[in-house]
Amino acid sequence: MGLVNTVDMLGHAERHSYAVGAFNIINLEFLNGILEAAERMRSPVILNIAEVHFPYVNIEQITPAITYMADNVCVPVVLNLDHGLSIETVVRAIRCGFSSVMYDASKKSLEQNIEETRLVVKMAHAVGVSVEAELGRVGGAEGGGKARARREFFTNPDEAERFVEETGVDALAVAVGNAHGFYDGTPELDFDLIATLRRRTGIPLVLHGGSGIPDDDFRRAVSLGIRKINFFTEMSKLAADRVRELIRASDDYLLHDLVLEAKNRIREVVMERIRVFGSENAWMRSITTSRM
């Protein structure tokens, strides 16, 4: 179906009350595993490439492969820059052909975050690329490690309403008890805050730090307006666990055997997340509705 931007994809998710999984890729095995899962589940999908993962993946090299594969799958695909930390990185992603970018100035002052995000929005929208930003501070580390959300960094509804109005962003990543990496203890999402932020901003909300959040909490968050869920650390760990099991079981496995098993495990994990997020067969709902 080809690449689309998040405006169209998350708009569909809003109309049909589900969330789209955004899964990070660092090589072709991640890419193939994620897209195989999306096709099997007939689910739209977002492919994230985070700036923190640039040491593992060259976006100029992998983007042509992603574009080719997106053109040849039966579900819509977004290619999204995840946590772009500079204007230069955003420009690089757009030039490569990304259909969406996330610009993360959440560690800067509100005024500076607004100013810089407004510039990114103006630039990206001019070429049909959607923009996600972050307000509040999710915290943790996308590379793993233990993390705990800190309430003083939760997204402020008054600031969120102003931020969306003055920047024109298409989606907003919020801090509501979530954190990147693995959680130190059980995460406790602030569901009242999610509902308030959705009402005050009027745009799709994004939940980063999906690894370790209980399934029922995901479902409740989706019911309150979360439309995009980022998920990487647990997916990567479970694939690594599969490889470790094989190595312990036999010395006969070669690298290509391990790579294939890692890809298959990624596919399994993504399929399960798609079920929880409610996007299984999602794109078929609009077809069914149009025939009624």
Known catalytic residues are 82
What does the angle CA 222 – CA 76 – CA 206 come to, to the nearest 5 degrees?
Answer: 30
The answer to whether the CB of 180 falls within 8 A of the CB of 172 is: no
Q: Where are the alpha helices (DSSP H) in the chain?
A: 6-16, 28-41, 59-71, 87-96, 110-125, 157-167, 191-201, 215-223, 233-249, 255-277, 282-291
d(CA 278, CA 40): 14
Q: Angle formed by the axes of helices 157-167 and 191-201, to 10°? A: 30
Q: How many CA atoms lie within 13 A of 192 on its CB side?
A: 0
